[in-house]
Amino acid sequence: MNVKRLTVYANPGSLRVVAVWKSLIEHHAQVCGWSAHVNTAGGRESLSVDLVDCPAERLAIISAALSAGPMTVLTSDAESTVRS
């Protein structure tokens, strides 16, 4: 199983969680885990979403759509936490 982590960063109050989930739904992404973090000292919010078997092209489209606004998107490989 191939798991990719999409992490969206934003300044406090600028993380558009609904927009992130809407984009994932529109692009038929299969989510297998997520976490949200607020770094008050550093002044950043983030949402990390683990996606199962998401083709690179689809991941690029999702990342580009979310990066168009006030958010920054990074992708990385993630260890699978899904058990079969």
- The torsion region of residue 44 among left (phi > 0), alpha (psi -120 to 50) and beta comes to beta
pLDDT tens digit sequence for 20-64 = 999 999 999 999 999 999 998 888 999 999 999 999 999 999 999
Residue 82, in any domain of the structure: no
CA-closest candidate to residue 51, choices 69, 71, 31, 65? 31
pLDDT at 9: 96
Percent of the chain with pLDDT over 70: 94
Residue 47, in any domain of the structure: yes
Count of the separate structural domains present in the chain: 1
Domain of residue 44, residue span: 3-77
Residue 44, in any domain of the structure: yes
pLDDT at 31: 96
CATH number at residue 29: 3.30.70.260
What pTM, to 2 d.p., does this model score? Answer: 0.85
pLDDT tens digit sequence for 58-84 = 999 999 999 988 999 999 988 755 554
Q: Tell me the C-alpha distance between 2 and 79, whole Å.
A: 9
Residue 52, in any domain of the structure: yes
Residue 27, in any domain of the structure: yes
Residue 20, in any domain of the structure: yes
Residue 83, in any domain of the structure: no
